[in-house]
Structure 1
């Protein structure tokens, strides 16, 4: 399928982001450029309440942002990890998506401001993600959430963290996770797949950019083979929470996302996959701006509501 015309317009706007050669690029420079050149996104939705707080972790305290929808009673909850290649992104960069998910699901969304690379390399981001999940599970009464409807989710690098906390929760017999929502997840550090060759230049996320992200995230190449780094490297993917995976056709990560969908299914897990052939990486950030992003949000929310109804 051809690239969605609105996505092409977005790529044209991204053309203003001129990065130095990757060998000269620093995380600080990339963050400044990404923030300065960020395309204006759709108007954020209004929720009933937004609050920031610090929670304890094994490292420094972790900043989280809680989004509470206009809904009464005990709510489902979604612990959400933002994307950005483990280097970029923060609570503000994904504020619009978290608000929309909170309203759409009628759920408390807890967005996690995990430590970023290269200042804090693997496993710092994962450790923060795990500590945040445990904190939410331990405070269900205070937060007025239903422990049987506790979900995790994320996009790109954040989806990597979500997938990995599901693995650790299984290995540690809890916390119990009802569902995992993975938008175009980073599943592996293998950049030789066909989608990297076919979509690795000119479609926002590029092969060399992804290589640079991995170089920032890993302290050493062998870290990629350690538990809870690359979910596709896990030998056992059985007994995991039901999953909803969203994949874009013009995304270098497409093939690893499809491979993860296949392996989850073969391991006996319930998997609902939604593929948008005309979409680029990161397109969920542009809800309220791109029709295909809005469609994907609605279809994702429907899938999660159907899954939650079983709990």
Structure 2
């Protein structure tokens, strides 16, 4: 279908902005942080607090904890934000976390993992693995149930959630109930899947921006571009992984690699629900409350979480909505 008119209006409003790959990292970070002002007010939650935990190097690793209304213990979502392993923050993804917290009735622990280029691969996956284990071990302190934990994230955060699921399987757990992968990065950009060519320009995220992101995250990639902790689609096996929600956008360079990852999971016997959101572009969950179809997508993600937390992971084929 054509680009959603509400998305098209947002694209037009941003045409004057310089392209990410032409900016320095500090300039690009400032540009992404500035768009918070354009987002719709998120859902209300009962409480938001921050906590520092010891990171893999001994330096503090910050978590932002969102608690829903009601009485706990609540289920727990450990969430990893996106934007190419280089940009964005707890602040840029605050609205998404609040909407998931309220919509799914769960505690959300948003992880402030280390960013490239200051901390290239594998710093981010190390932080996310440690944070997941810490949250599971300390769930009771967070008002959460350690038996009902899901990991998730969007874009680069979806990559980190998929990688964390692989590492939990291979490196001693703990077991999680599901992995929520929102327009995830699952593969290297070259040669790239067909959507890299179809959506290379004009829809927000571009091929050139993805190359810029990967260049900072893996400045000397060598053979690591196919390492499963960088590109989880290249894991030797996807069997035994937790149930997954994979969402993609019609006008996104990452569309096909996300759907290819869903098919790899299915082929390995993993329960998968996959939705391609028609008319939308990469990053659409930011626009919940401002773009009607993004609001519907957020409701679907929250509904999937509720079912998984209840022990009823839904399964549906790749559908176009």
Q: TM-score range by the shorter chain?
A: over 0.9
Equivalent residue of 2:38, what SS?
Answer: coil
Q: Verify the 8 A CA contact 1:69 1:107 in the aligned structure 2.
A: yes
- Could you tell me how far apart the structure 1 residues matched to 2:199 and 2:220 are? 27
Q: Deviations over 1:155-210 (max 9, x none)?
A: 00001000000000000231111011110000011343210111010000000000
**Does 2:172 align with 1:173?**
yes
Matched length:
309
Alignment of 1:70-85 (within 5 A): 70-85=69-84
Deviation at 1:306, TM superposition (A): 1.8
Q: Which residue of 2 aligns with 1:127?
A: 126
Deviation at 1:44, TM superposition (A): 2.2
Equivalent residue of 2:211, what SS?
Answer: helix
Deviation at 1:25, TM superposition (A): 3.2
Q: Verify the 8 A CA contact 1:76 1:149 in the aligned structure 2.
A: yes
Please list every run of at least 4 consecutive aligned residues from structure 1 whose deviation after the TM superposition is greater than 4 angstroms: none
Deviation at 1:26, TM superposition (A): 2.0
Deviation at 1:272, TM superposition (A): 0.6
3, 25, 28: which one aligns with 2:26: 28
Q: Can you give the 5+ residue segments of structure 2 that lack an aligned partner in the other structure?
A: 313-321
Equivalent residue of 1:54, what SS?
Answer: strand
Q: Deviations over 1:122-147 (max 9, x none)?
A: 00111111110011011022122112
Deviation at 1:247, TM superposition (A): 0.7
Q: Which residue of 2 aligns with 1:186?
A: 185
- Could you tell me how far apart the structure 1 residues matched to 2:62 and 2:164 are? 18
Q: Can you give the 5+ residue segments of structure 1 that lack an aligned partner in the other structure?
A: none
Q: Which residue of 2 aligns with 1:277?
A: 278
Q: Deviations over 1:274-295 (max 9, x none)?
A: 1112110000011111101100
Gap change, CA 1:88 and 1:287, over 3 Å in 2: same
Deviates more, 1:218-227 or 1:134-143: 218-227
Q: Verify the 8 A CA contact 2:29 2:87 in the aligned structure 1.
A: yes
Q: Which residue of 1 aligns with 2:316?
A: none
- Could you tell me how far apart the structure 2 residues matched to 1:280 and 1:182 are? 15
Q: Deviations over 1:93-151 (max 9, x none)?
A: 00001001001111000000101010100001111111100110110221221122100
Alignment of 1:33-72 (within 5 A): 33-36=31-34, 40-59=38-57, 60-72=59-71
Deviation at 1:36, TM superposition (A): 3.6
Q: Which residue of 2 aligns with 1:87?
A: 86
Deviation at 1:32, TM superposition (A): 2.0
- Could you tell me how far apart the structure 2 residues matched to 1:177 and 1:206 are? 33
- Could you tell me how far apart the structure 1 residues matched to 2:283 and 2:307 are? 24
**Does 2:135 align with 1:136?**
yes
Deviation at 1:308, TM superposition (A): 2.0
Equivalent residue of 1:215, what SS?
Answer: helix
- Could you tell me how far apart the structure 2 residues matched to 1:139 and 1:36 are? 34
Q: Verify the 8 A CA contact 2:149 2:309 in the aligned structure 1.
A: no
Deviation at 1:39, TM superposition (A): 5.7
- Could you tell me how far apart the structure 1 residues matched to 2:134 and 2:258 are? 28
- Could you tell me how far apart the structure 1 residues matched to 2:43 and 2:34 are? 23
Q: Deviations over 1:231-281 (max 9, x none)?
A: 011111110000011110100000100100100000000001111121100
Using structure 1 for the length normalisation, give the TM-score.
Answer: 0.96
Using structure 2 for the length normalisation, give the TM-score.
Answer: 0.93
- Could you tell me how far apart the structure 1 residues matched to 2:37 and 2:294 are? 15
Deviates more, 1:38-47 or 1:155-164: 38-47
Q: Verify the 8 A CA contact 2:36 2:92 in the aligned structure 1.
A: no
